[in-house]
Amino acid sequence: MAKIDVTCRLCKSNNTVKAGRHRIKSNPEGVQKYKCQDCGKYFQLEYKAKGRLPETKEKIIDMCNNGSGIRDTARVLKVSTKTVINTIKKSL
């Protein structure tokens, strides 16, 4: 059995543990989730949906701070307006 070192996307720590699976319709087995022991955040190694990527969420918040509208942001980043609204709500 091979060991894979998983690095946290946020704090870049190697102190991570497996934390269950995220079940989705397209993959009944699910996708492995990990939890960082240092910052306490959950994450996956790969994301299928573009709107779930941390980079996309940062871009949404940046565009909102620079005065872009919800529909404009959704069109540029190719995500739904609901994703933009939910990300803005969570950032407040």
pTM of the model: 0.56
Residues 7 and 38 both lie in one domain: yes
At 42-68, the pLDDT tens digits run: 988 877 777 888 889 999 999 999 999
Residue 1: band (very low, low, confident or very high) from pLDDT cuts 50, 70, 90: low
- Residues 2 and 41 grouped into a single domain: yes
- Match 């939910």 to its residue by tokens: 86
Q: Which domain holds residue 7?
A: 1-46
Which segments within the chain are labelled E, that is strand?
16-24, 27-36, 42-44
* Number of domains the chain contains: 2
Residue 36, strand partner residues: 16
